Amino acid sequence: MKTRTSIMAVVLAVMMAGAAFAGSLEAPAAPDDPASAMYTLESIYQRLATGAAGAKRVGPFAEPDSAPSPTGHTLGDVMSKAPAVDNVKGVTPAEVPIGKTFWGLTSGAWGLQTGTGTSGVRVGPVSGFTCNGTLSPNNRWCDQGDGTVMDMLNGLVWLKDANCIANLAGINKTGQLNWYDAEKWVSGLKSGVCGLTDGSVEGKWREPTKDELTALTRGVDAVVYKSPALFSNVQADSYWSATTTANDKSYAWYVKLSDGGGYFAAKTLTDYVLPVR
């Protein structure tokens, strides 16, 4: 009797376990109910291959007028388009700019992910900096609507007009200037000229350092010649930096905004200037 009881208990336990893993016992929706509609194999294939949205059946089910046609793709075709784990080349959230979505391939970050990286281009205002204007598509630059453009990575404020023509501090700038005149001209920049309505006063603006100027040409959102940017009148030429060469104080570094190259030249030569504060 004990043996029979034990066997019955095992049978009941197995039956109960089977019921637990069998899913819902509710009857599926009727064939003519829109709730019974499913994606086709072709829809799934196209989603994986091209990103197409796909669509389920609309309205009640209807019998086909002719024999069904092949989908053109097998389950093997579908699997060939599906992503696979890649722990070698797959990126992690920390390697993708903040806020950018991507499909993670690593076993530790599989599926739709959101970047958390802080290097390169940051998405959204950096802590402490607020955009009171229009952000560029990648949220790197803020056109503040007052003749200035703020770099949301570091808070630097640049003159929007990259080749302003004006007479400042006794220097009549019509294009390029030598380094000494450029430094003096920038010091005279203020609200009311060069499209500025920011309330800035003389002495607040300066020439950028070599590193600051070079940074404008780096990354996917670089302000380079002929690229989409919030700056105006960017010249495919050289711009002075405030950085003097270490070995000879009569030379200074300049940067070509067209390619990001850094070079040095005698301060008596002429280049363009892009003020910053």
Read off the pLDDT of residues 22-35 as tens digits, 9 standing for 90 and up: 455 555 677 677 77
Q: pLDDT higher for 190 or 217?
A: 190
Tens of pLDDT, residues 38-75: 788 888 888 888 888 887 777 776 666 666 566 577 88
The pLDDT, as a whole number, for residue 238 is 92
Q: Which of 5-14, 219-228, 260-269 has the highest mean pLDDT?
A: 260-269
Residue type, 35: A
- pLDDT for 12 beyond 60: no
- pLDDT for 123 beyond 50: no
Contact 158, 274 (CB under 8 A): yes
E strands, 115-237, are 134-135, 141-143, 148-151, 157-159, 166-168, 171-173, 177-178
pTM of the model: 0.56
Over residues 174-202, mean pLDDT: 95
Tell me what percent of the residues of the chain surpass a pLDDT of 70: 71
The pLDDT, as a whole number, for residue 55 is 79
Q: How confident is the model at residue 269 (pLDDT cuts 50, 70, 90)?
A: very high
In angstroms, the CA 255 to CA 193 distance is 25
